[in-house]
Amino acid sequence: MGDTPLDIGRFLRSTHPYDLLDPKKLSPIEKNFEHLTLGSGVTVFSSGDVCEFIYLIEEGTVEISDSHGALVSILQPRNHFGERGALRDGIAVTTAKTSSQASLLRIPRAFFLKMLSEHETLARYFRRGQPRQNQLGGLTTLPVSELTKRTPITCASDTSIASAARLMRDQKISCLGIEDNGVLVGILTIRDLTNRVLAEGRDPSGPVSEVMTPKPVTLPPASLGSDVLHAMVEKNISHLPIVEGTKLVGIVTQSDLTRHQAASQSQIVADLGASETVEELAHSTKRLPELLVQLVGAHLAHDVVTRKITDVADIVTRRLVKLAEAEFGPAPVPFCWAACGSQGRREQTGVSDQDNCLIIDDSATADDMVYFQKLAKFVSDGLNACGYVYCPGDMMATAKRWQQPLSVWLGYFRKWIATPDPEAQMLASVMFDLRPIAGDSTLFDRLQSEGLAAAAKNSIFVSHMIGNSLTHTPPLSLLRGFATIKSGEHRNQLDLKMNGVVPVVDIGRIYALKGKLAAVNTRARLDAAVETGLLSSSGGRDLIAAYDTIATVRLEHQANQIRRGEKPDNFLSPSSLPAFERSHLRDAFVVVRSLQSTLGASVVR
């Protein structure tokens, strides 16, 4: 794994954001990187350590855990780590540990900060999202409205103890609000019934006013999870009424906090890592809808939400590959399991099917391919069991067409680029969003680099891709309204996927093809297009803001559906939005349509 300075420079030039720098400006940076080889299971640094270096993974994988030891993410080649602590106060906020033999590049923190001060391009990249990261407080920053999931059940203070107990039993709750004339006067809990009724032998026909907790500690709706935690610990209570004025609007219980913690990403990831069967994996992924509601309710940026949701899918996929190898034995030749579609772009929401493929080493024999057919079926079936349903278009590794040696994949891309007929355009749109998930990522690296290089050289192919992208247009009518769906199940609704985010996804892909940009995530592609000059600063800023608006409305719509117990989808009635939000959404669609017009005009010329 040894690297010379020349090798380090070559690696940096193929890694974002260093690939955006002029070679002369990159030269002093690469001289300050040093190479480090570590075995599996080595702790690079622990939470609370002084951040002496910032690391970049060249080969291998690194697990990142929070201060409580919960697994946060699994990083792969070309991922940095340690920069969060370096940018804050120089103290590591996480623990980094190699999960395989790893080849790392590291740079001293002092030079890293100097580098950011001298290069705006690098500063924008590493500092991007810092305010968003500060939002990631989990339970502590969550509004209490996200912790109270049902309308509080109440009764009057003169209700009999027996009647109140039956009401709690029938409603399957551990606490009742006691109200008189719409004013909260107390609460009745299971603990009250045990300690003040059963233990003291009270007559259950008496009024609840005799055994309730009067004038309970309360919090207003604007409170955060941290307020709930502090009150419960300080007062030694397990039920906390949420009161607006004098009216009870909710009750937060210890069970609510436990449920929230169980549905947190770190807990889901930890459970997935310990899963030994498909059934155990599926049990954990059932909590994904609740996780989506939590993340959206915490007002995180849409790309942070979708990244966290997609990270779970990645871990499930890698775990299934490991289980398959345990079932069928180690792979006979190197392979790469890659995802495309929303998982490839790290943009999964509450509605996700599976889109994946297998890139196999050219040394594979016919017998080897039988092994990969079994592996693909095992993983695809497992994903379906975990809620990532089979792709209706059969764009999965189980299809022989998408389970091929690298040379065949290279042939696919050459043919699509040389002969961009409608099918080729459709397939290229999907396959240029590939991202390696498991296995040997070098197989993918060659496919991506050669595909992007060939696409950028072929202006006819790019023109056809632009034309294909214009088939997905924002839903705008001529009279400052929305062009909603005219008939069928979703009449008078907007398709926030096909007419909302997909047009921006297509635009991002076009710029990636034009500029040979390695980024796959849509927002990252747009950022890179601005940084490389492919997209003007003002146009890029407007498009990114429009995309943020559309994607956020889509996520909030799905979270609201989940809260109501409905299956999330992409169809929104504009009338369900307040007037201001409708106007804002329409303005976002106008920006997207303007960029599409600009791209379309470039084809005509």
Q: What CATH number should be reported for the domain holding residue 94? A: 2.60.120.10
| Whole-number pLDDT of residue 494 | 96
What pTM was estimated for this model as a whole? 0.64
Of 435, 452, 469, the residue at which a domain comes to its end is 452
Q: What is the mean pLDDT of residues 365-386?
A: 97
pLDDT in tens, 527-537: 899 989 999 88
Measuring CA to CA, how many Å separate 34 from each of 2, 24, 25, 109, 114? Answer: 11, 19, 18, 13, 17
Q: How confident is the model at residue 262 (pLDDT cuts 50, 70, 90)?
A: low
Determine the structural domain holding residue 529 and report its residue range.
Answer: 458-605
The pair of structure tokens assigned to 582 is 């409708």
Check residue 258 and give its pLDDT. 64
Q: Residue 564 domain-assigned?
A: yes
The side-by-side arrangement of strands in the sheet containing 43-45 is: 43-45, 95-98, 62-65, 71-75
Contact 175, 188 (CB under 8 A): yes
Whether residue 567 is found in the same domain as residue 520:
yes
Across residues 5-22, what is the average pLDDT?
79
CATH number at residue 198: 3.10.580.10
- 275 domain-assigned: no
Average pLDDT over residues 170-182: 92
The rounded radius of gyration (Å) of the Cα atoms in the chain is: 27
Look at residue 272 and tell me if it is in a domain. Answer: no
Alpha-carbon gap, residue 412 to 393, rounded angstroms:
18
Q: CA-based angle 346:350:351, to the nearest 5?
A: 90
* pLDDT tens track for 329-358: 999 999 999 999 999 999 999 888 999 999
Pairing of strands 102-108, 53-59: antiparallel
Question: Is the same domain home to 319 and 237?
Answer: no
pLDDT at 129: 39
CA 89 to chain centre: 27
- pLDDT at site 105: 94
- If asked whether residues 440 and 491 sit together in one domain, one would say no
Q: Is residue 290 part of a domain?
A: no
What is the pLDDT, as a whole number, of residue 134? 36
d(CA 204, CA 168): 14
Task: Give phi and psi for 494, each to the nearest 5.
Answer: -100, 140
What's CA 374's distance to the chain center, in Å? 29
Predicted local distance difference test score (pLDDT) of residue 487: 92
What's the chain's length in residues?
605
Domain count across the chain:
4
Burial class (CB in 10 A: 0-12, 13-18, 19+), 131: exposed
pLDDT reading at 210 higher than 60:
yes
Domain boundary among 95, 127, 159: 127
Give the distance, in angstroms, between the CA of residue 246 and the centroid of all CA atoms in the same chain. Answer: 39
**Residues 465 and 438 occupy one common structural domain:** no
CA 322 to chain CA centroid, Å, is: 22
Question: E strands, 287-345, where?
Answer: 335-339
- Do 223 and 365 fall within a single domain? no
**Distance, C-alpha 248 to centroid of its chain:** 35
CA 544 vs CA 370, 507, 525, 530, 564: distances in Å: 45, 11, 10, 10, 30
Give the number of other Cβ atoms within 10 Å of residue 396's Cβ.
Answer: 23
Q: Considering the domain boundaries, does residue 277 fall inside one?
A: no
Name the residue with higher pLDDT: 214 or 143. 214
Cis peptide before 17 (omega within 30 of 0): yes
Residue 214 parent element (H or E): strand 213-214
- pLDDT tens sequence across 558-571: 999 998 999 999 99
Same domain, 400 and 523: no
In this predicted structure, the answer to whether residue 54 has a pLDDT above a threshold of 60 is yes
How is residue 508 written in tokens? 């991002």
pLDDT, tens only, 137-165: 456 666 777 777 678 999 999 999 999 99
Asked which of 223-232, 308-317, 371-380 is least confident by mean pLDDT, the reply is 223-232
List Cα–Cα distances, 398 to 219, 337, 352, 429, in angstroms.
Answer: 53, 11, 18, 20
Res. 131: pLDDT tops 50: no
With 50 as the cut, is the pLDDT of residue 482 above it?
yes
Strand partners, 234: none
User: Which whole number is the average pLDDT over 197-207?
Assistant: 93
Q: Provide the CATH number for the domain around residue 383.
A: 3.30.460.10
Q: Which of 430, 452, 474 is the last residue of a domain?
A: 452
Residue 187, phi then psi, degrees to nearest 5: -135, 155
Based on the fold, state whether residues 22 and 112 are members of the same structural domain. Answer: yes
Share of the chain above pLDDT 90, in %: 55
61-75, 167-181, 322-336, 530-544: least confident range: 61-75
Q: Does some domain include residue 586?
A: yes
The pLDDT of 271-296, averaged and rounded, is 91
The answer to whether 519 and 433 have CB atoms below 8 angstroms apart is no
469 and 412 co-located in one domain? no
Evaluate if residue 490 carries a pLDDT over 70: yes
Check which CATH number belongs to the domain holding 487 and give it.
1.20.120
Decide: 304 and 262 in contact? Cβ < 8 Å. Answer: no
Task: Supply 102's token pair.
Answer: 């790893």
Q: Where are the alpha helices (DSSP H) in 502-536?
A: 502-515, 522-531
Q: 602 Cβ partners below 8 Å, 6+ apart? A: 466
Place of tokens 């079994």: 374
Most confident of the ranges 157-171, 300-314, 418-432: 157-171
Q: What pLDDT is attached to residue 130?
A: 43
DSSP 20: G
Q: Are residues 116 and 225 in the same domain?
A: no
Residue 502 binned pLDDT confidence (cut-offs 50, 70, 90) = very high
Distance, CA of 79 to CA of 114 (rounded, Å): 20
Tokens 């719509």 found at? 557
In this predicted structure, the answer to whether residue 135 has a pLDDT above a threshold of 50 is no
| Tokens describing residue 256 | 């609510």
Q: Give me the mean pLDDT over the 40-54 stretch.
A: 90
Same domain for 412 and 522, yes or no, is: no
Nearest to 325 by CA among 376, 362, 251: 376
CA 460 to chain centre: 35
The C-alpha atoms of residue 388 and residue 380 are separated, in whole angstroms, by 9
Confidence check: pLDDT of 379 > 60: yes
* Number of CB atoms found within 10 A of residue 500's CB: 26
Residue 107 domain-assigned?
yes
Q: Identify whether residues 469 and 445 lie together within a single domain.
A: no
540 to 394, 439, 507, 525, 537: CA distances (angstroms): 35, 35, 11, 10, 5
Q: Outline where DSSP puts E strands in 254-380.
A: 335-339, 356-360
Please write the tens of the pLDDT for every residue from 69-96.
656 567 788 888 888 777 766 788 778 9
| pLDDT reported for residue 93 | 72
Nearest to 51 by CA among 96, 14, 7: 96
H or E segment at 339? strand 335-339
Determine how β-strand 34-38 pairs with β-strand 43-45: unpaired
> 128 or 233: which carries more pLDDT confidence?
233
pLDDT band at 132 (very low <50, low <70, confident <90, very high): very low
Task: Examine the domain organization and report whether 48 and 115 are in the same domain.
Answer: yes
Per-residue confidence (pLDDT) for residue 6, from 0 to 100: 47
Pairwise CA distance, residues 443 & 431, whole Å: 14
What was the pLDDT predicted at 227? 80
Residue 149 domain-assigned (yes or no):
yes
DSSP state of 252: E
Q: Tell me the β-bridge partners of 95.
A: 65
Distance, CA of 134 to CA of 301 (rounded, Å):
11
Structure tokens at 151: 């309308």
